[in-house]
Structure 1
Amino acid sequence: MTAHTARVAFNPFDAEFRRDPYPHYRQLRETRPVHRTLGMWVLTRYADVRGVLHDRTFSAALIPRQVSAQAERLGQSDMTLIDRLGRTSLVFTDNPEHARLRALVNRAFTTQQIDGLRPLITAAATRLLEQARRKSRVDIIADFAAPLPIAVLCEWMALPEDLRARIGPWTHDIRFLLEPGLMTAHDLARVHTVVTAFTGALRPIIDQRRAAPGQDLISALLTSYTLGGNALTDDEVMLLTIMCFVAGLETTKSLIGNALLALLRHPEQSELLRAHPELTRAAVAETLRYDPPLQLTKRLATRDIELEDRLIRARDQVLLCLAAANRDPDVFDRPDNFDLTRAPADHLAFGHGMHGCLGAPLAALQAEIALDVLHRHTTEIRLTTTDFDWQQHSFILRGLTRLPITLRGNG
C-alpha cells in the first residue's frame, strides 16, 4: 500500500466532504474501494455495493440494535415504543418478518394507486408554486420542495388539518433514529416524546378507519390481507404510517432540490428540458444517479466473506456508499456529467434487492411533477446565490437547506 493510498479514507466529518463528496468518493473507488475505518467496512464500487444489497445474508436490522445500544449507554430506559417503531420498519427488518410486512404493504402501494395520485400531486405543486410566487424572495426548498411531500402524504392519508402542521417537525426529530451513533441523551428523550405524541394523535384515526374504512392510505393498510389471511395489526399500521413520513419527506424534498440545482448549474440541460418536457422523468432518474438524496446505507454481515482480498467477518458493520457506486465508471459512461440523454442504467439511489425502497415510485413521481409544474409555469428560473447550504443534521442524507431563486414568466 502506498503512502498516498493510506491517507485516503472515508471521512464524513470533513467540511469539504459535506460540501462535495464526489471527488472523495472517486479517490476511494480508485485507491481503497474496500477499506476499514470508523469501526466499519466502507464499500464504494458499484459491483460490491450492489452485491451486498442483493445478498440476503447481510442483515438490515442493524439500526434498531444500535438505537437500543445507544439508549443503554445514555441511560435511557423507556425504549419500548421506539424499539417497536424500528422493528416495524420495512427498511430495518429481515426475513421472515420483512416478507410478511412487505407483502401486506405492497397491496397499498401498487403502481395503479401511485399513478392515481397524479392529480393530487399536481394540484398541491401548483398551489405551492402560486403561493411562492407571491413572495418577493423565493426559497424553493422551504416554499415548495419541503411542503410538497407533506401535503401529498397527509392528503393521501386523509389526516385532519390540525395534525398536518405538526407532521414536518415531528418527522425531522424522529429522523435522528436513523443515525443512532450521533444521538445525545437529549435527542433520545426528544424522539421518545415525539413518537409518543405522534402515536397518540394517530390512534383515534386508526380506530375510526378500522370502523369505517375510506379510500385513503391508512384504510388501505388496515384492510390489506394476504392470501393466507394475514393482516396488519392496528399498532403496525400506526407505526408504518409514521415511517412513511420518516422515509418519504426528507428524501423527496432533497430529490426535488438536488434536481433543480443540477439543472440550474447545467443550463444546457435545463434548456434541453424546456424544449423537451418529455425528458422530465429522465431528469429525475439522472438526478438520482448523479446526486442522490440517500448517500449511504448500512448492513451487518452475518457470515465471513472476502472482498478485494479483505476478510469481512460475521458481525462486522458494512457501510455502502450508494452515491459513490452511482458514479462508478465501470457502469456509467462519463459518470461525473449530468446528462438527461444518458442511456438508462440501474442506479442504486433507491437501494436494490428485497430492501429496495417501497416508496421510490411515489418519490420519483412527486419530483417529476414538481419539475414539470415549475417549468410549465415559468419562462425562466435563475439562481440568486452561488453559496449553497447543505444540511448538516445527517450524514446519510444529502440535500439543501435553502435554495433562493427567481421565477419569471407564465404568471
Structure 2
Amino acid sequence: MPVTPPVTPEEVLARLRREPDVEAPDLVAVDATDRLLLDTAEDLAARRVAVVDDAYGALTLGAVAAGARDVRVHQDLLVGERALAANAARTGLTGTYRSLPLDGDLLDGATLVLAKAPKGLDALRELTELAAAAAAPDVVVLVGGRVKHMTLGMNDVLRAGFTDVAATLARQKSRLLVARGPRPGIQSSFPRCRHDDALDLDVCAHGAAFAGTRVDDGTRLLLRALDGAAPDARTAVDLGCGTGVLAAVLSRPRPDLTVTATDQSAAAVASARATLARAGLDRVRVTRDDAAADLPDASVDLVVCNPPFHLGAAVVTGAADRLFAAAARVLRPGGELWAVWNNRLPHKAALRRLVGPTRVAASDRRFTVSVSTRR
C-alpha cells in the first residue's frame, strides 16, 4: 500500500528510525541539534537547501516537510544514506531530495546550508571552502552541534570563508554557528596531500578522513609487520581503508596481488582514490561499502584492517567486531586477517571466536598486531 505523507515536519520527525544502524531505547534518530537547526532555518519554502551530514534524515526530510523543494544532501557514512532512504520511504517522501558528493554541485547556488558540526576542523574547513566558493552570495550557513563539542576553532574556520560569523544561544545543550557573507576568491584546498618520508608515499585526505594526511601509529606498526603476510595470496582487501595507506603499501611490491580497498565513509573512499592515484596504483579497486557487504563469501586470501576503536569519546569494541565478522565471511578457509588494535581492548578473544586461531605478530606499549587464520 502507498504511504501517506505526514502533514507537518513534526509528524515526519516522529516517524524516523535509525535502521539499518543500531536501534536501542537510548539511541535516537532525531536529536536536539536537528530540531534547533530546523527551528532556526527561515523561509525554507523559498530556499535552495544543501544539507551536510544528516545522521538519519531529520534535516533533509524536515526541510522537505517545511516546504523546501530543492534539497540536496551529502552524508559521509553509507549507513546514513541508507537510513535516510528508508525514512523517506517510511514517510512517503522518496524522491524529494538528491544525494550528492561533497563538491561544488552540492553547494551550487545554495541559499541555506544545514550542517551537523563535524568531529574535526578539517571537515568543517572543506565545507566552508566549498560553500564560500559555490553557494549564493546571500547564503546562510547553519552549523549545529552539542555545546560540549563546539570549539572557538570552529568560529575561526568559518571566518576564513565568511565575513559574518555568530553563535546562537544554547538550547537543550545544543548551539548553532551562523555564517553569512562568502569571501571572494575562496577555492577548495582538498584533498590535501603530504609526503610521508618513512613510507615514500604521498598521503592524500579529504577533510573528514580519519587521521588526515598523517599516518597513525597503529597503522605504522601493522605496516612494519606486513612484509610476511600471506605470501601466496592472490586477492586482498583493505577493510575500512581510510586514506588507502595500507592498500598502497600492500599493493606496491606485489603487482600480482589483486587488492580491493573499501570503506563506508565517502571522504575515506575519495581520499584513498587520491592516495592510490598519486602512487600510480590505479589497479587497486576502491569501493564505498559497509563492512564489505558487496564482496562474495569466501572470496579473499588476505584481509588487512585497522578498525575504529572510538565512538565519540568512548572506547568501544562493537565497530571492530563487526569488521572482524565481515573479514571472516569474505576470507577463504586458511585465509588470514592481519589487524591492529589498541591494547586496552579484548579483541584477541573476539578474533578467535569470529575468525579462528589468532597469534600476535607485533606489539608495542599501545598497539597489537594480530594474525587470525580462517577456520
TM-score (norm 2): 0.28
Normalised by the length of structure 1, the TM-score is 0.26
Structure with the bigger RCO (C-alpha within 8 Å, sep 6+) is: 1
Which has more strand, going by share of residues? 2
